[in-house]
Structure 1
Amino acid sequence: MSILLLPLNVTVIIPALLLFFFHNSVGWGVEPPITILVVLIGAIIMILGLLLVILTIFQFATKGKGTLAPWDPPRKLVVSGPYQYTRNPMISGVVFILLGEVIIFGSIFLLVWFLFFTIVNYTYFIVGEEPKLQKQFGEDYGEYKRNVPRLFPRRTPWTPGKK
């Protein structure tokens, strides 16, 4: 259960605190029925993000034999499921959840949190995580990195050994 603390803090606790302390900044100032459309779009994006996070956690557990927790990382390189399309689908899922919250609540403070989280994480991938994965998984990760984009997903799934 402790492995869910990080995504829970990032997507629920911090946004809830921001909304609580800066409640005057909430809302787009639009009238119904446009409000309903905005909330629906935000909810769909959030649900897609949540599904992506769940799928990636499942891939880490079943294929990688580990978790998203730094103290129990996957022991095998995960290149199946959502990882066939992009190298960072778990964070992409969290980013979608945060973007959905920004859309639903129309809060500048949630927007700043979304941008901060996204920039810090993608920077960390480039300077911290990818070199570590290259060292841990060697040429397997190198091949994966050459074939699967970091941020924007491929159109078709990548399969190791297949051109």
Structure 2
Amino acid sequence: MSKQPFFSRWRIWITRLFCVAIVGLFLVSLPAWHDQESLMAHLITPLGLILASIGAIGRLWCSSYAAGNKNARLLREGPYSLTRNPLYGFSFLGGLGVAITTETFTIPALFVAGFALYYHFVITEEEKRLQVDHGEDYATYQVMVPRFIPRTTAYVEPQRWEISPSALRRSMGEVIWFVIAAVSIHALHDLRGVLSLPTLLVLP
């Protein structure tokens, strides 16, 4: 197997640093939508929680196929028959959900821009690695399955699938953070006054 390139190897840590920066911005900002009484203002947080939950459940679904198999074989079943990058797709939905719970347009926009820019390089590097590791099989897979937007007509699901319990357990610990982050950000809206956090910006 080929060595993971830079963007893929440091993907988790760079993502965490980006999230810390976004949370830091939120902590010193006042969301413009928080005190609004419009229908949109009341729907934003539930929408964010729903997307964060979908992202968490979707990543767990992907992990049930990838756990113990990702580096051993070319995954083409289950969510990997819908799109070549289902794990990143659900990560996008989950992260967007967390960003939406900030009740701003600015932070979700920063998340979308940062995700699109950074994961473009991650996916491109991984495609090159998979091409080296799997050759013609991956070239065929690229033709049959879209890169990011799911195609439901190509769905394939096996009757049985072997996984690594320890790898799946680690994945379960990772995905719960989407929901925890969304709930925590929502709670910080109400704790701003108690914590006496400074307001340096008002974010639309």
Q: Is 1:40 aligned with 2:38?
A: no
In structure 2, the residue matched to 1:58 is 64
- In structure 2, the gaps of 5 or more residues are 1-10, 157-204
CA offsets, 1:56-115, max 9 Å, x none?
2221115x1x5xxxxxxx211111121110111111111111211232211513421331
* Corresponding residue pairs, total: 144
C-alpha distance in structure 2 between counterparts of 1:145 and 1:158, whole Å: 15
Q: Which residue of 1 aligns with 2:97?
A: 100
Larger of the two Rg values belongs to structure = 2
Equivalent in the alignment of 2:161: none
Paired letter, 2:101: I
Match of 1:9 among 11, 16, 20: 16
Residue 122 in 1 paired to residue 128 in 2?
no
Runs of 4+ in 1 over 6 A off after TM superposition: none
Query: Which residue does 1:70 correspond to in 2?
Result: none
Structure of higher RCO (CA pairs closer than 8 Å, 6+ residues apart)? 2
Q: CA RMSD in A?
A: 2.8
Q: Distance in 2 between matches of 1:31 and 1:78?
A: 47
TM-score with structure 1 length normalisation?
0.73
